[in-house]
Structure 1
Amino acid sequence: MQEILVLLQDPAAWIALITLVVMEVVLGIDNLVFISILTNKLPADQRERARRIGIGLALVLRLALLGTVAWIVKLTTPIFEAFGHGFSWKDLILIAGGLFLVWKATKEIHHNVDPIDHEEDFIASSATQTFAAAIGQILLLDLVFSVDSIITAVGMTPHLPIMVVAVIIAVAVMLVASTPLANFIEKNPTIVMLALGFLLMIGTTLIAEGMGFHVPKGYVYAAMAFSGLVEVLNMFARRKRQAEKAAKAKLH
């Protein structure tokens, strides 16, 4: 309690908290996009519950990992060397998560681009996409993103209370934003493809990070922001064309 009171009176602690909250929210975007796409494949009455459970699990995982900060830091210690790079447990977790994201995004892109040729496979996959299966996949990616998130937090501040508060605020933001984002993705088919492209890029980035090639997050998010802006302009253009077409139809 004494440590918390001291931190409350320290301007540097508040700056660290705000910075870390922003970082955690940005890092949580990847997780949120994946959860939105995955839960949208469930029956409508299960989607909201699946999103809440998925984001709740992310909070539990991150708080649990914060309780083992000393062990988390050791995850960056190399355990073997290959191709001139020392691989740590963190690297292996990032590579595994990246491969899963690339596989999942590629599979969904195939279904969206060519639904006729994959119709039977798509129906089978939708039938087997149970609530438990969706939560299992969300949990797997929660683990990957949580490890990356906590290691980032540990690198930014040594104070555990600041980390805990930042994680709770970031997950609360994810919880509030999850349903509007999922609904927006569902109502705009082109956004689904764009989001899957984001997941493919994020998965590739995770694999590269695990292999020792640092990819500045700013470049990744700048590319995502630019692509999103272009898609927004396309949406306005489509709506304008639809409105003009409807106006002409009324005249005739």
Structure 2
Amino acid sequence: MIQRKDTVLAKASAPEQRRFRTRFLRADDIPALLELERRQWTAEQAAGAADFRARMAAYPDLCGGAFCARTGELLSSVFAKPTHDAEWTEPGSWAQSADLGGPPQTRTRCMFGISLTSVDPGAALQLLAFYYLYLLKRGYSEIFLGSPMPGLKRHLDRHPGASVEAYARATRSGLPVDPQLRYYHGKGWRDIVAVRENYFPHEASCDYGAILKARVPLRHLALLFRLVPVPVLRMLSALAPRLAMPAAR
């Protein structure tokens, strides 16, 4: 992603072969964004209208949504901002990472995913696919994000005093044992840069967060993708849920 704080996606399966439309978000989408936040996050976690306005004003093309092609309902949103990899060498919170203060950053090849919020896995997949292609077009090479670890509290209840760092990096059959880290692993975020205490309020994660890094795929084709129009990128990203998620029978 990914409240804001990035990520716990709803696990409802997409009905039949649901179609989605992705586009950059606008100010008139804020009521739908607030409803999406309300459905997926607690009051403490959820972003507000002022947050959305600030993000759209600072980086309008890094605020995206996936909508149901039939009803127009907003099903997934993503917000991002340029960053520098040096930002992740010191401890910090999600709020610090998501802060939009200071002059806009333009000369960087790194991106921070402020949030990914979704009620439909297919919509989230198509939105992520679009942004992978769009960031490639824009010349970005790495994407950072902060993820909750919703299996952590249960693990610590069973193993008091266990290392949080060890849990975050634990794998089973090559995949992270934590369900959210496993989800992101499947989407390309396979490098754990840091594990931070008091990163954001998330009870099941004991307020810890894992900082993950993914490399934008097909980076060797970046120069070619700069010539590809955004509508074509949208068409290509629409193939992602159809290829990855078989239609219901």
Say which structure is richer in helix: 1
Category of TM-score, reference length = shorter chain? under 0.3
Q: Give the TM-score normalised by the residue count of structure 2.
A: 0.27
- Give the number of the structure with larger relative contact order, counting CA–CA contacts within 8 Å between residues 6 or more apart: 1
Q: Give the TM-score normalised by the residue count of structure 1.
A: 0.27
Say which structure is richer in strand: 2
